[in-house]
Amino acid sequence: MTDAVGSIDMPDAEDDASESKKRGRKGGKRGKKGPLGRLAVFYRQIVAELRKVVWPTRSQLTSYTTVVIVFVVVMIGLVTVIDFGFQEAVKYVFG
């Protein structure tokens, strides 16, 4: 996947070579100094990583959400039963 600057994994060799000759810096466009340059590189890397993500389909998302909600309800029930049992045990022991 490439954009105007090139892929994050494989930068354009031409840009790196021409920029380093002009300015005498290593890294070309990715070697910018200053906070705004680093912020721009960071943003491009975020976008590149998000393009690699395999997003779930709507049906997968629905099934995953259903599984999570059912699991949470079961755990709430289990904790409620255990809490009630401890409550009754404390009432029995301490009167």
* Residue 31: count of CB within 10 angstroms of its CB: 14
pLDDT for res 3 = 56
Q: What is the predicted pLDDT for the residue at 35? A: 86
What secondary structure letter does DSSP report for 6?
Answer: B
Specify the pLDDT at position 26.
57
Q: Identity (one letter) of the amino acid at 69?
A: I
> 47-90: per-residue pLDDT in tens?
999 999 999 999 999 999 999 999 999 999 999 999 999 999 99
Total-model pTM: 0.49
Type of residue at 66: T
Q: How many residues does the chain have?
A: 95
Q: Which residue has the higher pLDDT, 83 or 28?
A: 83
